[in-house]
């Protein structure tokens, strides 16, 4: 029995009694697939191969029971025409609903049966859709209903030979198919399900600990739960309608009205507001509203209310602590920087064009740093509690000294920074600085003691020039340092010369750190020699002293005193010491290897390296020396550690322990600049030493003849040098005289029995290459009369 493509023979329609409109219940849910298989089996038994392949595919995908109003529609794929979808199959339930026979529906445009089903976007391939339509009955009556549409997959599986026999794949390649099911919102069972859902929601909301409110229309509440009533301390019936709005603070009502308007327009909104409870307490709450539409009423909302009063209090407390000093209650460094940032051009004009002229401040602003003089003495002598009491009193006095619009902050330690507005000239700046200093003159009473607290004040003027807040704080710190360097108890205004000098120092710190990190700092070597005599004028090289030298890539050679001072202020001395030791050990090992290969008879016995007390007292110093020496292939006996008396005075106990440990393992120890420190003899008793180095200040004044006044031969300098040499011999120590520059000095030292000297008479510090040439010449050095060196001076 042949049928046209896409049609189903009338005897193949599913049976079933006609049902009245509204007696069926729709669903969006896909029932079990066996229902679709049952429907397909019934059609297959009635029609066999007469069923259209596209309809077969749709029935295979069908997910609705036979008593639901269902039809199958298809639409040719572009560019085929026509584009309007047509009915390909309908079940008896749908046909009876419309008052038509099932066969009469086949090939009709779906828009004639279900107005709106052919609207753009109603039937899509990517997902299931649900949309409103008007179902047109045989009598022409149009009834509002909804349609759920499921697209039929392009690949139908699970039916094996049936799919292949009906050429389902080919049919689906030509047209798109959908299964449409009518659903009725007015169905009694739907209304019952809606009532049940509302009851479940009401139960959940009523018992929920989260304050909840419901509006059926507008801002009028239809229901609130017990948690919301408990939050405001008001019975729930009094909050329904518009009663809840009476608990919104007056200045919050505009924000609330806007939020309600937004949610009624379909938006989800979240906002913070304040509510007043029945007891008069104000609570901060976070309100979250979602749109809701109730049939027969209109637009409303469902919302929750979270009491965040305690959380906001914690957040405010943390925010306060983040920007205030907990001891004095003053703004801290972060608050100071933010305040300065608002005053500076970058803060005032965040959108300014780079390179554009910077607008000046409306009035000059003075930034004053107050640094207490000798505060460490109070803190160490009387304890931190007394120090805290002093800081609190100083903070109180400073706040009373400035005007109400000025800022007093404590960025840390014993430093206070004041930001004072409207200082038109230097006279006003001086008057402000004087008031600050005068405020700290009266003594501070702490535990019955009257403590006098002095201070140094640095001043920087903000005139609208470029620069950031950090730079301002740094500059005012420089000015304070200048005031302290001038004796303290005074004020200093930062000028350009001081600023440039400080910036050069900062640049040297950064460049020195980079040079140490990349190992580009040079090491030169000054020979320690056996001095020449009238019969043997040339000196013989004994050992070398390693000395750091720095050739700046732009500034040229930097005076060692300058960059060593920079290293001390930047805590780079341990790194510098370690670098010199590593390079010196490596060079000594290289000289020995190369000398052995070249058959040279003489190389330095050992290399001496200056070590600071900071390095000696650092954890792991001894192990670091061992590793460095071993890495170069040397023994500790090849190294001499030179320590100054002044450095030893800082931490004698720690230095002694480390030096004894290394000396037991073979290292040599020399006391440098002997005679310039304190209690030198005591150090000799307590310290493990192998050498004494006579300071150049004693060597400089050595004379060979009798003085003009008839005093002792050679004068006091000779007597001191003779005493040092004699003391060293008595203690079994070697002596090295530093700073030998003249033949006369050399002769006196030889006469006194000094067997090792170093100085410009024989050699200045030289590079490793120059020292190698000395070794190639047999390790001898002829005396000369050098001039004084002139290293490049760079202010630190």
Q: Clarify whether residues 164 and 33 are in a common domain.
A: yes
* Domain annotation covers residue 565: yes
Per mean pLDDT, which range of 75-84, 332-341, 562-571 is the poorest?
75-84
Closest CA to 474 of 439, 499, 438: 499
pLDDT at 593: 95
* Domain annotation covers residue 795: no
Q: Clarify whether residues 490 and 537 are in a common domain.
A: no
pLDDT at 128: 72
Please give the structure tokens belonging to residue 343: 């005053």
Domain edge (last residue) among 458, 477, 494: 494
Q: Clarify whether residues 601 and 745 are in a common domain.
A: yes
Q: How many helices (H) and strands (E) does the chain have?
A: 30, 27
Q: How far apart are CA 586 and CA 632, in angstroms?
A: 5
* Domain annotation covers residue 783: no
Residue 503 pLDDT > 70, yes or no?
yes
Q: How many domains does the chain have?
A: 4
Could you tell me how many residues make up the chain?
Answer: 796
Residue 157 pLDDT > 60, yes or no?
no
* Domain annotation covers residue 3: no
Close Cβ partners of 733 (under 8 Å, ≥ 6 residues apart):
689, 690, 691, 692
Residue 322 pLDDT > 50, yes or no?
yes
* Cα 351 to Cα 148, 341, 344, 360, 466, distances in angstroms: 54, 14, 13, 16, 15
CB atoms within 10 A of CB 528: 28
pLDDT band for position 294 (50/70/90)? low
* Cα 592 to Cα 601, 603, 758, 774, distances in angstroms: 10, 6, 22, 13
Q: Clarify whether residues 566 and 704 are in a common domain.
A: yes
CATH number of the domain that residue 17 is part of: 3.30.450.20
At 570 the three-state DSSP class reads coil
* Cα 501 to Cα 371, 565, 644, distances in angstroms: 21, 14, 30
Q: What are 159-188's pLDDT values in tens digits?
A: 444 445 445 455 556 788 888 888 765 555
End-to-end CA distance of the chain: 110
Q: Clarify whether residues 351 and 294 are in a common domain.
A: no
Q: Clarify whether residues 295 and 358 are in a common domain.
A: no
Q: How far apart are CA 431 and CA 361, in angstroms?
A: 21
Beta pairing class for 607-610 and 780-781: unpaired
More confident residue, 792 or 404: 404
Q: Clarify whether residues 444 and 466 are in a common domain.
A: yes
For 357-372, what is the mean pLDDT?
74
Domain edge (last residue) among 154, 186, 218: 186
Q: Clarify whether residues 545 and 647 are in a common domain.
A: yes
Closest CA to 113 of 130, 134, 96, 127: 134
* Domain annotation covers residue 502: no
Helices (H), 641-687: 645-650, 652-664, 680-686
Contact 638, 607 (CB under 8 A): yes
pLDDT at 17: 30
Q: Clarify whether residues 546 and 618 are in a common domain.
A: yes
pLDDT at 663: 92
Main-chain phi, psi angles of 672, to 5 degrees? -85, 155
Domain that holds residue 411: 326-494
Q: How far apart are CA 141 and CA 137, in angstroms?
A: 5
Q: What are 16-72's pLDDT values in tens digits?
A: 333 334 433 333 333 334 444 455 555 555 544 455 655 665 665 453 345 678 888
Rounded to the nearest 10°, the torsion over CA 770, 775, 778, 781 is 40
Highest mean pLDDT among 142-151, 309-318, 668-677: 309-318
CATH number of the domain that residue 715 is part of: 3.20.20.450
Q: Clarify whether residues 167 and 199 are in a common domain.
A: no
Closest CA to 760 of 696, 669, 713, 714: 696
Closest CA to 767 of 520, 549, 561: 549
At 450 the three-state DSSP class reads strand
Residue 742 pLDDT > 50, yes or no?
yes
Q: What are 625-636's pLDDT values in tens digits?
A: 999 999 999 999
Q: Clarify whether residues 575 and 668 are in a common domain.
A: yes
Residue 549 pLDDT > 90, yes or no?
yes
Please give the structure tokens belonging to residue 163: 């799919």
* Domain annotation covers residue 321: no
Residue 486 pLDDT > 70, yes or no?
yes
* Domain annotation covers residue 790: no
Domain edge (last residue) among 244, 279, 312: 312
* Domain annotation covers residue 695: yes
Quickly tell me which residue has 């047209």 as its tokens.
Answer: 175
For 497-521, what is the mean pLDDT?
85
Q: What are 519-535's pLDDT values in tens digits?
A: 889 999 999 999 988 88
Q: What are 205-229's pLDDT values in tens digits?
A: 777 888 998 887 778 888 889 899 9
The dihedral region occupied by 753, where left means phi > 0, alpha psi between -120 and 50, and beta the remainder, is left
Q: What are 564-615's pLDDT values in tens digits?
A: 888 888 889 999 999 999 999 999 999 999 999 999 988 999 999 999 888 9
Residue 705 pLDDT > 70, yes or no?
no
Q: Clarify whether residues 696 and 587 are in a common domain.
A: yes
Q: What are 220-268's pLDDT values in tens digits?
A: 888 889 899 999 999 988 888 888 988 999 889 888 989 999 998 889 9
CATH number of the domain that residue 465 is part of: 3.30.70.270
Residue 367 pLDDT > 70, yes or no?
yes
């Amino acid at each position: 029995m042949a049928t046209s493509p896409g049609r189903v023979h009338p005897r193949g329609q599913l049976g079933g009694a006609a049902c009245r409109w509204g007696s069926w219940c729709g669903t969006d849910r896909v029932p079990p697939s066996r229902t679709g298989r049952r429907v397909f089996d019934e059609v297959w038994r009635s029609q066999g191969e007469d069923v259209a392949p596209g309809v077969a595919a749709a029935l295979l995908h069908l997910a609705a029971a036979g008593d639901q109003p269902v039809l199958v529609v298809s639409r040719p794929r572009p560019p085929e025409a026509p584009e309007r979808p047509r009915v390909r199959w309908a079940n008896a339930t749908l046909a009876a609903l419309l008052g038509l026979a099932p066969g009469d529906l086949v090939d009709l445009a779906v828009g004639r049966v279900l107005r709106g089903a052919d609207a753009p976007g109603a039937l899509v391939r990517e997902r299931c859709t649900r949309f409103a339509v008007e179902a047109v009955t045989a009598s022409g009556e149009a009834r509002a209903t909804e349609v759920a549409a499921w697209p039929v997959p392009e690949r139908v599986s699970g039916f094996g030979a049936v799919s292949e026999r009906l050429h389902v794949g080919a049919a689906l390649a030509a047209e798109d198919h959908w299964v449409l099911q009518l659903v009725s919102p007015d169905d009694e069972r739907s209304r019952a399900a809606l009532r049940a859902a509302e009851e479940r929601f009401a139960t959940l909301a009523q018992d929920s600990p989260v304050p909840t409110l419901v509006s059926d229309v507008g801002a009028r509440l239809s229901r609130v739960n017990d948690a919301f009533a408990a939050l405001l301390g008001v019975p729930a019936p009094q909050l329904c309608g518009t009663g809840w709005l009476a608990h919104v603070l007056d200045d919050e009502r505009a924000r609330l009205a806007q939020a309600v308007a937004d949610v009624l327009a379909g938006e989800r909104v979240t906002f913070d507001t304040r509510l007043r409870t029945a007891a008069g307490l104000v609570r901060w709450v976070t309100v979250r509203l979602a749109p809701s539409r109730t049939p027969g009423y209109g637009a409303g909302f469902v919302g929750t209310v979270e009491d965040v009063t305690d959380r906001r209090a914690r957040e405010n407390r943390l925010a306060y602590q983040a920007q205030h000093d907990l001891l004095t209650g003053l703004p801290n460094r972060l608050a100071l920087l933010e305040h300065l940032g608002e005053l500076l051009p970058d803060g005032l004009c965040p959108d300014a064009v780079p390179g554009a002229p910077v607008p000046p401040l409306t009035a000059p602003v003075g930034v004053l740093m107050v640094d207490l003089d000798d505060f460490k003495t109070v803190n160490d002598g009387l304890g931190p509690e007394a120090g805290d009491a002093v800081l609190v009193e100083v903070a109180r006095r400073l706040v009373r000294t400035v005007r109400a619009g000025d800022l007093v902050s404590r960025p840390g330690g014993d430093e206070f920074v004041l930001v004072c507005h409207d200082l038109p000239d230097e006279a006003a700046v001086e008057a402000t600085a004087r008031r600050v200093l005068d405020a700290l003159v009266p003594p501070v009473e702490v535990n019955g003691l009257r403590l006098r607290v002095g201070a140094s004040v640095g001043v920087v003027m903000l005139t609208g020039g470029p620069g950031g807040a950090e730079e301002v704080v740094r500059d005012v710190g420089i000015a304070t340092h200048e005031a302290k360097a001038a004796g303290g108890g005074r004020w200093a205004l930062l000028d350009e010369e001081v600023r440039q000098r400080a910036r050069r120092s900062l640049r040297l710190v950064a460049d020195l750190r980079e040079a140490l990190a990349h190992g580009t700092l040079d090491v030169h070597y000054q020979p320690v020699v056996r001095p020449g005599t009238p019969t043997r004028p040339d000196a013989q090289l004994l050992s070398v002293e390693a000395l750091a030298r720095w050739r700046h890539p732009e500034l040229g050679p930097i005076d060692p005193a300058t960059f060593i001072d920079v290293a001390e202020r930047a805590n780079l001395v341990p790194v510098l010491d370690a670098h010199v030791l590593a390079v010196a050990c490596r060079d000594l090992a290289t000289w020995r290897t190369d000398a052995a290969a070249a058959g040279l008879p003489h190389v330095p016995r050992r290399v001496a390296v200056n070590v600071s007390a900071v390095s000696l007292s650092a954890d792991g110093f001894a192990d670091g020396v061992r590793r460095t020496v071993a890495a170069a292939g040397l023994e500790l006996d090849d190294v001499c550690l030179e320590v100054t008396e002044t450095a030893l005075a800082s931490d004698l106990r720690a230095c002694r322990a480390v030096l004894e440990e290394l000396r037991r393992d073979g290292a040599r120890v020399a006391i440098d600049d002997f005679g310039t420190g304190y209690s030198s003899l005591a150090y000799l008793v307590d310290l493990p030493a192998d050498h004494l180095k006579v300071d150049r200040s004693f060597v400089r004044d050595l004379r060979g003849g009798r003085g003009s006044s008839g005093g002792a031969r050679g004068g006091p300098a000779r007597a001191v040098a003779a005493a040092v040499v004699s003391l060293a011999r008595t203690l079994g120590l070697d002596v090295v005289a530093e700073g030998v520059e003249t033949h006369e000095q050399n002769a006196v030292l030889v006469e006194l029995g000094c067997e090792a000297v170093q100085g410009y008479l024989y050699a200045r510090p030289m590079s490793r290459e120059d020292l190698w040439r000395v070794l190639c010449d047999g390790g001898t050095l002829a005396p000369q009369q050098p001039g004084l060196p002139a290293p490049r001076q760079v202010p630190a």
